[in-house]
Structure 1
Amino acid sequence: MSLIVGAYPAQPAGSQQEFYRGLATVPAVRGLELPYGPHGGSPWPAGAPAEWSAVVTSIPGTMQRLNASAAFGLASVDAAGRRKALDFAAGLHAYVLRLKDEGRQVEAVELHSAPHPGADVAMFRASLSEILEWDWGTTRVLVEHCDAPRPGNKPEKGFLPFADEVDVVRALREQSGGRAGLVINWARSVIETRNPDTAAQHIALAREAGVLAGVMFSGCSPDATEFGYPWIDAHLPAVEVDGAPPSSLLNRAEIERCLAAAGAVPVTGFKVGLPREGLTVQDRVDRLRQMCALIGGS
């Protein structure tokens, strides 16, 4: 199985070219999840093979813009906040076109149904419909589910409920020519209910609805760890990976269960964080190699 790797939370503060050259020795990796931040996207990472493809995630920029303005989001009922989010998405679109002009293959982009509170399903559908009118070529436009509000729990993201996102994507599949889809991040589904069963359930429901387009694996923990407070969305490695917190709920069995629930999907991969200091470049590459092996890559 070939994988998309969100390597940016694992890269060192320096020696990034050496890091990506090391990651290129892992045969299972076919591409990178690249972050699109509040001020745009980064250049293609030095050391990453030119033939690798990309999936661009808007979550870093979405969260930073949302932290600065509570009304920001593609699902916002505030007209100005929704327009700012659409302008942000237009910048992401321009970044994708720039990568393509450089000869990169961009498999997909990942969008999110902010804000919290106040995400509205009708506004999100209107925004996504507008975005799908832009020329994306063969690039898929995917909604990445983040945890929705739940009674008694403080949300990490608090965006639209899963069922609402499924309905929006399903309604727009024809308009998109089949390019719209839903991607499930293991931790973000589990954080919502604090139950590891939720990720596999979301995957199965999205597949049944005909909108499942991707599965990304990140871990989470019910306990405080070096990554932060309990249930933080900080991309913990699977428990079998060297140095992972022993309380990480992501493990080989959960990965296998979710892969079976998903079947064949266009995008499969993972995103894990590692400490910025205290690990060699080879340590980092080895830990990402271990994650690849858990997901079925070599």
Structure 2
Amino acid sequence: MKRPPLDSPTGTRVVGTYAMDDGNNEHRQTLITSIMRSGLCTGLEIPFLSAQYGDCAWLWPLLPADSRHVFTMVTATMERIGSNPEFGLASTNAQGRREALTMMRHVAETIYWLHSSSPLTIAAVEIHSAPSGGSIEALYESMATMVQWDWAGAALVIEHCDAAVPNHKAVKGFLPLHEEVRLIDELRATTATTLALTVNWARSAIELRDPDAVPEHIRYCDERGVLGGLMYSGTSAISGPYGSAWSDTHAPMQAEQRFGEPTSALTNERLSLTRRAVNNPLLYDGVKMAIRPDDAPLERRYAYLEYALRGLQTASALRKEHKE
């Protein structure tokens, strides 16, 4: 049994509804089912093993047959770092790395079970070079272990988060992009497991402190053949309702009227330019947006996500026309 991900720019398009969660189970489920019926995405970016979603036993029955999803481990990872700063796949602390591998083993077993017993597909798992102060050697050891497991066709994808840099304080401070890229390139020769890297628009903008420089990260990965995904969430160069300047709080797109945040650095133009920076096929792309105030009505939550997904749909279509 093996269910490989589609190798296509829109084979898997996901939306991280969890970033808009208000803690109400009924609202959570309504938003998920509504967005899945929209036809604008193939599935969700799922914060697996997070305090919010747990093992997702409640989620599977809500998802349509043949829907395609992505697991993100960033929430579970950051939650565990909160109680153990040495937790992570790149940890130089042996116990912290073992705990991270134990978590990932559970992820692999869940994907195998899902692909064996349901029509759902997990196309990729986003992993992270945590914690701050980790090492590329430790991450290599972790991934060399993980690629020996059966991922049932799911790709292992490092989602790049802002790295520690000398000129400003990092938000996450994980490993540099060039080290993550080199690791993927080296490990690919040793395994049949699909390995790739995902650029998160906001996290690259936060690291670079320049939203117009994000295409540099995308082209760097794309030219080396390791770019597997693009996730779009926003950030802002100034303080506002989504926190201080350059916060990683998933600000929505900057958009007219009620569909976005005026201070956000993520515009339709920047979305389109970064999507066009990709030459090779992607495993997946998607959007992840938060909303303020926290108790915004469901209709407004849905409208924000629909607006962003339609923007990505348009950008992808323009990219295709441009390449042809």
* TM-score tier (shorter): over 0.9
- Bigger CA drift: 206-215 or 244-253? 244-253
1:22 and 1:282 in contact (8 A); partners too = no
In the alignment, which of 55, 58, 63 is matched to residue 41 of structure 1? 55
Instruction: Give 1:105's aligned amino acid.
Output: T
CA contact (8 A) 1:38 1:65 kept: no
Residue 69 of structure 1 corresponds to which residue in structure 2? 84
Tell me the secondary structure at the aligned position of residue 284 of structure 1.
helix
Q: C-alpha displacement at 1:98, in angstroms?
A: 3.5
Residue 309 of structure 2 aligns with which residue?
Answer: 292
Helix, strand or coil for the counterpart of 1:8? helix
- TM-score, with length taken from structure 2: 0.86
State whether residues 121 and 160 of structure 1, in contact with CA within 8 Å, keep that contact through their aligned partners in structure 2: yes
Q: Does 1:130 align with 2:140?
A: no
The Cα shift of 1:293 comes to 1.3
CA deviation string 1:77-107 (max 9, x = no partner): 1111111111111122223233323331110
> CA RMSD of the aligned region, Å?
2.0
C-alpha separation between the residues in 1 aligned to 2:165 and 2:312?
30
Q: Helix, strand or coil for the counterpart of 1:155?
A: coil
Q: Which amino acid aligns with 1:74?
A: L
Q: What 5-or-longer segments of structure 1 have no aligned partner?
A: none
Conservation of the 8 A alpha-carbon contact between 2:208 and 2:214? no
**Cα 1:276–1:85 shift into 2, 3 Å:** farther
Residue in structure 1 matched with residue 215 of structure 2 by the alignment: 200
Q: Which amino acid aligns with 1:282?
A: E
Q: Deviations over 1:107-156 (max 9, x none)?
A: 0001000111x211111111111111100121001000000011131111
Asked if residue 176 in structure 1 is aligned to residue 191 in structure 2, the reply is: yes
In 1, Cα distance between the equivalents of 2:102 and 2:196? 21
Q: Hey, what's the Cα distance between the residues in 2 that align with 1:58 and 1:20? A: 19
Could you tell me the percent identity over the aligned residues? 31
Q: C-alpha distance in 1, partners of 2:304/2:259?
A: 9
Alpha carbons of 1:154 and 1:80: their partners in 2 closer, same or farther (altered >3 Å)?
same
Q: Are 1:35 and 1:42, in contact at CA under 8 Å, matched by a contact in 2?
A: no
Give 3-state SS (helix, strand or coil) of 2:304's partner: helix
Q: In the alignment, which of 227, 235, 239 is matched to residue 224 of structure 1?
A: 239
AA at the equivalent of 1:8: Y
From 21, 32, 45, the counterpart of 2:44 = 32
Q: 2:267 aligns with which of 251, 254, 263?
A: 251
| 5+ long unaligned stretches in structure 2 | 1-9, 318-324
Instruction: Answer yes or no: is the 8 Å Cα contact 1:17–1:46 preserved in 2.
Output: no
3-state DSSP of counterpart to 1:213: strand
Q: Match for 2:17: what amino acid?
A: A
Name the aligned partner's letter for residue 265 of structure 2. L
Q: 1:59 aligns with which of 69, 74, 89?
A: 74
Could you say which structure has the higher strand fraction?
1
Distance verdict in 2 for CA 1:48–1:280, change over 3 Å: farther
Give the corresponding residue for 1:115. 131
User: How many aligned positions are there?
Assistant: 297
Measured after TM superposition, the shift of residue 266 of structure 1 is 1.4
For residues 140-219 of structure 1, the aligned pairs below 5 Å read 140-177=155-192, 179-219=194-234
Shift of 1:47: 4.0
CA distance in 1, matches of 2:211, 2:156: 27
User: Counterpart of 1:55 in 2: which secondary structure?
Assistant: strand
Deviation at 1:7, TM superposition (A): 1.2
Structure 1 residue 296: deviation in Å? 1.7
Query: What secondary structure does 1:89 align onto?
Result: helix
Contact 2:157/2:195 (8 A) holds in 1: yes
